[in-house]
């Protein structure tokens, strides 16, 4: 089978396609013939070495396809099942072996590309809005990169929860996408100071929570956007990791809460996984949650997909298909 690997951490040029034997599922595992794989920033973190993985590094943390075989003791899925998954590395390939408990059966009318586009980013938006800081009617939130893959889903879920949504974007075209997703106040950060806008629009109070996937570039001002005892949710590093800081700053800025969550800890049990994935995939199938798939790449174009995502010029989801 063909699989994308990185032999040494570095830039997109490190991505290579190699031939490997088709793997056999061990007990508790399933072999999935991949129909579509999602491209996410975590793939870039693995490629660059920000998140340490021993080489050769396989990439891709989400995929959708058909179960071809199962190992001993597997009861969650069977050969022929249409499935999707997230947080198991290796989906940039024709086949992937995945722990069976991590596989979710697809709703009947949902296609593979939509499923692959929804799993990681959709469940991320779900845990952020339903668990990390469970939004409720009357709450206010600031979402950075509101027209990105996670951002557009976050905006929609925050509105489902009844929150007032502030969203930052870089271009007028992205501003329109954020508005279409439901953002109440869209901030073009290349022309406006997002801190000034948030303070003005909340009469100086600040928002209840900031959802920040950008990292270093937005860190300090994001803290200043929060109300006293508000929560800073730092869940990504698109502009680089947040630099070291003194925890005392959290008390100085209003006894703030800070968390650095990751999806794996919010889908740690099959029960929680099925809840989040069931909500997300069900909402996509019935139209409550709108996906934006910007471009679909071939395996041979994986490096191009990484360059596009790193440029932060994309809005919506990038996918890779083996065929």
- Please report the pLDDT score of residue 238 as a whole number: 82
CA angle 178, 304, 66 (to 5 degrees): 80
Cβ-contact 167, 183 below 8 angstroms: yes
- The single residue listed with the structure tokens 């950060």 is 189
Largest CA distance in the chain: 62
- Bridge partners of 317? 293
* 90, burial (CB in 10 Å: exposed 0-12, middle 13-18, buried 19+): buried
Contacts of 133 (CB under 8 A, 6+ apart): 141, 208, 209, 211, 231, 233
Q: How far from 19 is each of 1, 12, 22, 301, 322, CA to CA, in Å?
A: 5, 19, 9, 16, 13
Q: CA-CA distance, 229 to 52, in Å (whole number)?
A: 33
- Go through the domains of the chain in sequence order and give each one's CATH number: 2-120+267-321 (3.90.180.10), 136-260 (3.40.50.720)
* 98: enclosing H helix or E strand: strand 95-99
- Please report the pLDDT score of residue 239 as a whole number: 86
The encoded tokens of residue 65 equal 């396809």
- Please report the pLDDT score of residue 119 as a whole number: 97
DSSP state of 130: I
Q: Give, for all 323 residues of the chain, the pLDDT tens digit.
A: 999 999 999 999 999 999 999 999 999 999 999 999 999 989 999 999 999 999 999 999 999 999 999 999 999 999 999 999 999 999 999 999 999 999 999 999 999 999 999 999 999 999 999 999 999 999 999 999 999 889 999 999 999 999 999 999 999 999 999 999 999 999 999 999 999 999 999 999 999 999 999 999 999 999 999 999 999 999 998 888 899 999 999 999 999 999 999 999 999 999 999 999 999 999 999 999 999 999 999 999 999 999 999 887 777 799 999 98
Cβ-contact 321, 298 below 8 angstroms: yes
């Amino acid at each position: 089978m063909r699989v994308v690997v990185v032999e040494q951490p570095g830039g997109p040029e490190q991505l290579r396609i190699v031939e490997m034997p088709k793997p056999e599922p061990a007990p508790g595992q399933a072999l999935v013939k991949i129909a579509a794989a999602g491209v996410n920033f975590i793939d870039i973190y693995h490629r660059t070495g920000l998140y340490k993985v021993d080489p050769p590094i396989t990439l891709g943390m989400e995929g959708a396809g058909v179960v071809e075989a199962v190992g001993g003791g597997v009861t969650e899925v069977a050969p022929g099942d249409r499935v999707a998954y997230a947080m198991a590395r290796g989906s940039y390939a024709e086949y992937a072996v995945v722990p069976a408990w991590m596989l979710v059966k697809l709703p009947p009318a949902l296609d593979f590309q939509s499923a692959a586009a929804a799993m990681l980013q959709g469940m991320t938006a779900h845990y952020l809005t339903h668990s990390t800081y469970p939004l409720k009617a009357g709450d206010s939130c600031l979402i950075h990169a509101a027209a990105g893959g996670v951002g557009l889903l976050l905006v929609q879920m925050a509105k489902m929860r009844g929150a007032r949504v502030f969203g930052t974007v870089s271009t007028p075209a992205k501003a329109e996408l954020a508005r279409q997703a439901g953002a109440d106040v869209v901030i073009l950060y290349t022309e406006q100071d997002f801190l000034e806008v948030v303070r003005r629009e909340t009469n100086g109070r600040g928002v209840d929570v900031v959802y920040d996937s950008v990292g270093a570039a937005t860190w300090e001002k994001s803290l200043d956007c929060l109300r006293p005892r508000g929560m800073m949710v730092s869940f990504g590093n698109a502009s680089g990791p947040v630099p070291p800081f003194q925890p005392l700053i959290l008390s100085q800025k209003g006894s703030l809460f800070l968390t650095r969550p990751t999806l794996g800890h919010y889908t740690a049990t099959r029960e929680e996984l099925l809840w989040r994935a069931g909500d997300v995939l069900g909402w996509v199938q019935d139209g409550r949650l709108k996906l934006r798939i910007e471009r679909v790449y071939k395996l041979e174009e994986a490096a191009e997909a990484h360059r596009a995502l790193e440029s932060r010029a994309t809005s919506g989801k990038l996918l890779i298909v083996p065929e």
